[in-house]
Amino acid sequence: MTEKTLDVKGMSCGHCKMAVSGALKGLEGVSDVSVDLETGKVDVSYDASKVNIEQMKEAIEEQGYDVAG
């Protein structure tokens, strides 16, 4: 498993947390997601042979949030 921390802008509530977490968990290869609303950090554990960072960023952006970096 590979781990990556994404910096997500625009999350402010429990719904935001659920939307981002759900979008990432819906991707094949993502095994664990941890969202910290205070810092905007999203820790993702994933199988790099099944999913990449660009796909994760797209899934988050489709929910209406920006990913820095």
Q: What is the pLDDT of residues 4-62, one digit of tens each?
A: 999 999 999 999 999 999 999 999 999 999 999 999 999 999 999 999 999 999 999 99
Task: Quote the pTM value.
Answer: 0.92
| Residue-wise burial string across 11-49, b where 16 or more C-beta atoms lie within 10 A, e elsewhere | beeeebbebbbebbeebebbeebebeeeebebebebeee
pLDDT value of position 69: 67
pLDDT value of position 25: 97
29: tokens are 């290869």
- Overall fold of domain 2-68: Alpha-Beta Plaits (3.30.70)
**8 A C-beta contact, residue 25 and residue 60:** no
25: tokens are 């968990």
